[in-house]
Each structure stands twice: as C-alpha cells, then as structure tokens.
C-alpha cells in the first residue's frame, strides 16, 4: 500500500520546465499544488536564488563542512530575526529531513542521557532507520525489521476522529495530558523527547485544536520531556510564520526544531536542526555527512531566507491563505464530494468520500491543469493543496476554478 499518490508521466527531463507556481510538460501547463514534493517554497524559478546558485556553480560545487562553518554561522545570524529568543544554536549539516530527525534524536538523547523518543500516531519523520522508528506509520514498514522499541506513539490531536471519542469543547485535551500515562506505563521511564509535527502532514494535514500546544508543553515540562518540533513540512513560511512554532503553534515552545524541504527554496536539498543553546552537545563527528553543509545547500538556504524576508513572503501567505481556505470551503458547499476542509496558511487539505478513489481524482485534476497529492492514510481520503508560497491572489482564483472544474466531472 502506498501512502501518497505521485503518478507522473515519464519522459526525459528536458520535457519539464518550471516557472513560478507553474510546471510546463508535454505542451501542457499545470499549477503545482504540491510545490514539487512540498519543497518548492519559492516555486520553480525564484530569480535571486537561482542566480546565486549559478554563481556558486561557477565557483565550486563542493567544500568540506570544515570550510563552510563560517557561512553556516552567517545564515543562522540572518535567521535569528525569525526565531524565538530561546533558540540559540544550530546544526546545518543535513541535506534531508530524515537526517535532521536523526540529528534531533541524537541531540535529545545525548543532552538528557535518556533513550525514548515519543511521537504521534500517523506522524512521519523520515525514511532512515532511526527516523522511521520514531514515525507513527509503522504500517509502511511491515516488510522490514526496524527498531521501534524505544518509541511510543501517542494519539494525535485529531478532533474529527478523536481517539478518546470526546467532544472538542469538553475533552480535557486528553490527547496531550494522557502522555503522562504513556510515559508511566508504556515506556522505559527514560523519555528524552516527544517529536511533533505542528500540522500532521502526511498523516492527513491535521491541525490541532486551540490550546493543544500549551497543554502539551505543560505536560512535557511536568514530565521533564523535551519537545522536538518537526517543521520539515510546516517550516519556512508554509503556515504563514517562519516556523509554525513561531506562529499559530508558538505555545509549543520547542526545545529543538528540525527543518528541510522548503528551506532550499527552489528544490535544493538542505536541512538542519535548531535548538536551545544548552542542547548544543554534539561533537562534529557525532552527526555529519559527506554532503552536509555543502556550498550549494548553504547558498540555497541563505538566499531562501533572504528572499522570504525581502519579498515579504510570510505576509503573502497570510494574505492568500485565507481566500484559499475560504475558496475550498465554498467548494465543499457546492460539491458533496468535498468535506473536512482544514489547514493553516498554504497548507490546506480536504477529504474525498471513501467511494471516490484518490488516485482517480489526482488524474482528473491533472487533466484540468492541477498537480495535487493525496494521502490514503489517516481516516479520510485526503487531497492536499499546498502551492508555492509566492502564489498571487489571481493565481489562487485560477487554482480554485481548475479544482472546481475537476470536481464537476464527477457530477456528470
């Protein structure tokens, strides 16, 4: 069983050209509502970023991380205006989100001297062995024998499918407070950290209810458990603030933040970990890779931060996110096939009925010039709408018209 649906027509790479939010292929133009693999935060062609990459290509393609430490520090200083004051250290030696998860696990374990890493049901934190072990989607890995032993998956804050069958207005936020029971009875008692996606991404674009992050933070403080915010999907402006945990999820006050995907702006792989200064415990040899902190990755990271700042991209997400959500809500009123519209900023989603195959909808959307991705797990059959953060209000309207045309084909 696959969890996301990504059929693309196969042909040579020269068939594909990307401009802004559009992918051109086979004589057709698509609005890319998947932002590539949720990583093209600035679309396909943000000029300043691409120009800086070209310039770096002409200088050199690789430098060992010994030589790029100063550049990493400069980038961290530039990022500071977007970070909460308690975050004071960084580790920019990863190129994938999975690598960043591994780094965060190492940091949490070394700093606390404890072993267990808790996470949420249906969470996804990467494909490497450690990252898979702390992901709440073990069903994807039944063919392997991976070490899940030190990771307990707690119920997700999914009010539409409450694990405890509670009503949201009188639930006592059991999904956060019961962490205490899991630590007490289902773990070794040595819990280093809880890793949380502020919006459960692959798990169905689940947005926690107001108050969840505050109660979760209080519970973790009481238990002496660190919080890792996995901002691989939510980071770099996706939800309208630099990180979700500096915006709608700020009450989470994570001790450690991981990022990847959108950090490379136009699709260059780069990832990293941010943390409280006292958690800066790793020796360089304890978590580094051949291509970590390579020049292209760092140029992409630096220019993405600069572009977000100079082009006021976060403000744009706030401006267009509301109309996109409203437009999807209007579609839910018009089309019985659309329900449970949810999301923050430009991280939106809706469910299709179980009678309608997500794969088939994705194909129909393509015919109407839209690239969307689905998620078959979680409880709904989710279609995710996450265009590049530079989308304009006119382009949002165009996206909604194409989506409406795609939905209309099921009414004939």
Task: Give me the residues that bind ligand PMP (CB under 6 A), please.
Answer: 96-98, 101, 124-127, 197, 201-202, 230, 232-233, 260
CB of 128 to ligand PMP, least distance (A): 7
Kindly tell me which of 71 and 125 has the beta carbon lying closer to ligand PMP: 125
Q: For ligand PMP, which is the closer residue by CB, 232 or 313?
A: 232
Nearer to ligand PMP, 201 or 295 (CB): 201
- How many Cβ atoms are within 10 Å of 92's Cβ, its own excluded? 28
Residues in the chain: 412
Q: Is 162 exposed, middle or buried (0-12, 13-18, 19+ CB in 10 A)?
A: middle
Element housing 381 (H / E): strand 381-385
Closest C-alpha among 300, 240, 247 to residue 270: 300
Contact, 114 vs 191, CB < 8 A?
A: yes
> Rg for the chain (alpha carbons), in Å?
21
CB of 42 to ligand PMP, least distance (A): 17
As measured in angstroms, the least distance from the Cβ of 195 to ligand PMP is 9
Tell me whether residue 260 or residue 365 sits nearer to ligand PMP (CB atom): 260
**Residue closest to ligand PMP (Cβ):** 97
Min dist CB 300 to ligand PMP, Å, is 14
> Toward ligand PMP, which CB reaches closer, 106 or 311?
106
CB atoms near residue 47 (< 10 Å): 10
For the CB of residue 202, give the shortest distance to ligand PMP in the complex, in Å: 6
- 21 or 34, CB closer to ligand PMP? 34
Residue 222, Cβ neighbours under 10 Å: how many? 12
CB of 172 to ligand PMP, least distance (A): 28
Quick one: which of 291, 281, 299, 310 has its CA closest to 82? 310
What CA–CA distance (Å, rounded) separates 285 from 119? 27
Sheet containing strand 89-94, edge to edge, reads: 89-94, 271-275, 256-259, 226-230, 191-196, 116-120, 153-154
> From the CB of 39, what's the least distance to ligand PMP, in Å?
8
Cβ closest to ligand PMP, residue 195 vs residue 313:
195
């Amino acid at each position: 069983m696959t969890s996301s649906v990504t059929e693309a027509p196969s042909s040579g790479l020269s068939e594909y050209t990307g401009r802004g939010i559009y992918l051109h292929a086979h004589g057709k133009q698509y609005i890319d509502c998947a932002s590539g693999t949720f990583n093209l935060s600035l679309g396909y062609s943000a000029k300043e970023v691409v120009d800086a990459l070209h310039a770096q290509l002409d200088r050199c393609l690789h430098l060992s991380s010994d030589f790029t430490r100063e550049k990493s520090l400069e980038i961290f200083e530039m990022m500071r205006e977007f970070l909460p004051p308690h975050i004071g250290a960084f580790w920019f030696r990863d190129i994938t989100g999975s690598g960043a998860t591994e780094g965060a696990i190492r940091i949490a374990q070394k700093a606390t001297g404890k072993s267990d890493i808790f996470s949420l049901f249906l969470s996804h934190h990467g494909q490497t062995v450690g990252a898979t072990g702390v992901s709440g989607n073990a069903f994807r890995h039944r063919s392997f024998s991976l070490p899940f032993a030190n990771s307990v998956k707690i119920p997700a804050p999914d009010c539409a499918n409450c694990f405890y069958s509670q009503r949201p207005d009188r639930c006592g936020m059991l999904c956060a407070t019961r962490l205490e029971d899991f630590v007490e009875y289902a773990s070794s008692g040595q819990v280093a950290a809880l890793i949380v996606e502020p919006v459960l991404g692959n798990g169905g674009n689940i947005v926690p209810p107001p108050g969840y992050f505050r109660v979760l933070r209080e519970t973790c403080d009481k238990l002496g458990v660190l919080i890792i915010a996995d901002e691989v999907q939510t980071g770099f402006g996706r939800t309208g603030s630099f990180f979700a945990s500096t915006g709608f999820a700020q009450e989470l006050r994570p001790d450690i933040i991981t990022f990847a995907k959108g950090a490379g702006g136009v699709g260059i792989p780069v990832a990293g970990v941010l943390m409280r200064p006292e958690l800066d415990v790793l020796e360089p040899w304890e978590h580094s890779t051949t291509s970590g902190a390579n020049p292209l990755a760092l140029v992409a990271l630096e220019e993405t931060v600069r572009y977000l700042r100079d082009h006021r991209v976060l403000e744009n997400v706030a401006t267009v996110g509301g109309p996109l959500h409203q437009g999807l809500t209007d579609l839910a009123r018009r089309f019985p096939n659309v329900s449970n519209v949810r999301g923050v900023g430009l991280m939106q989603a809706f469910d299709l009925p179980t009678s309608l195959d997500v794969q088939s909808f994705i194909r129909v959307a393509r015919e109407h010039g839209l690239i969307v991705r689905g998620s078959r797990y979680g409880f709904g059959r989710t279609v995710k709408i996450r265009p590049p953060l530079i989308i304009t209000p006119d382009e949002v309207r165009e996206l909604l018209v194409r989506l409406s045309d795609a939905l209309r084909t099921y009414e004939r």
